Amino acid sequence: MKVSTEEMRSLLKTYFIMGSQNCDEDPREVLKDAIHGGITLFQFREKGDQALVGEEKIRLAKELLEICKHYQVPFIVNDDIDLALKINADGVHIGQDDEPAEQVRKKIGDKILGISAHNQEEVEAAINQGADYIGTGPVFPTETKKDTEAVQGTILVQELRKQGISIPIVGIGGITPENAASVVKGGADGVSVITAISKAKSPKEQARLLKAAVDSVMQ
């Protein structure tokens, strides 16, 4: 059933996003380690030139979903709505260039719907289309996604909060344990990261540090 706004807010605290293309080690081990470090939400984002496709992608998605189910960490699928429905994921994340949000909402029912937004108009549209949360960024420079919008810090989130827009928002882009607190101080409910965890010597330790940084602001 539908997550409440406050439940969604807390799920965004330490949001790990990963595909096999982001890992040097076995993605299943990286995910398990990150979960032990305390991630609150996981997104399967198998995308880009090294990404798996077809049956291999579906198989990996199912394996990572099983791991998340075991530890009761909700599982979000990026872009691929059909895959999300096929494996009964907990939700989807779409960008401005994906399937229109109204259509996606019809397909997924009460599953979590996350939408990327980079300016006020896109945020307001996403809210009107029934997004459960917004992903904004890139907050800091990142190598992970080649075609990002301009680096924006937390300017947009600060502006939205000043206007009393309270939808759950997660920051993304170049976030590390060192800068994570500033993202939450800027008004985000949490941080979403790829490389800081997926390429870490200890994904567990990085997840733990990220979560501690976010919680250090929450009090």
Ligand X SMILES: Cc1ncsc1CCOP(=O)(O)O
**And the tokens for 173?**
């882009």
Please tell me whether residue 172 binds ligand X under the rule CB under 6 A: yes
Residue 37 interacts, among Mg ion, ligand ICP, ligand X, none and using kind-specific CB cut-offs from 5 to 8 Å, with none
Query: Whose CA is closest to 91, among 79, 100, 99?
Result: 79
In the complex, what is the shortest distance from the CB of residue 173 to ligand X, in angstroms, rounded to a whole number? Answer: 4
Sign of the alpha-carbon torsion through 204, 209, 210, 212:
positive
User: Which residues are known binding-site members?
Assistant: 43-47, 78-79, 98, 116, 142-145, 174, 194-195
User: Which residues are known binding-site members for Mg(2+)?
Assistant: 79, 98
Cα separations in angstroms, 81 against 38, 151, 195, 199: 27, 28, 24, 27
CA 45 to chain centre: 9
When the beta carbons of 2 and 209 are compared against ligand X, the nearer one is 209
Please tell me whether residue 27 binds ligand X under the rule CB under 6 A: no
Q: Is the peptide bond before 100 cis (omega within 30 degrees of 0)?
A: no
Number of residues that bind ligand X (CB under 6 A): 14
φ, ψ of residue 106 in degrees (nearest 5): -60, -40
Please tell me whether residue 96 binds Mg ion under the rule CB under 5 A: no
Please tell me whether residue 30 binds ligand X under the rule CB under 6 A: no
Stretch that binds ligand X, among 60-68, 86-94, 119-127, 136-144 (CB under 6 A): 136-144
Residue 98 interacts, among ligand ICP, ligand X, Mg ion, none and using kind-specific CB cut-offs from 5 to 8 Å, with Mg ion
Q: Helices 27-36 and 54-71, interaxial angle, to 10°?
A: 20
Please tell me whether residue 91 binds ligand X under the rule CB under 6 A: no
Q: Point out which residues pair with 44 in neighbouring strands.
A: 18, 77
Residues binding ligand X (CB under 6 A): 137-138, 142, 144-145, 148, 172-175, 193-196
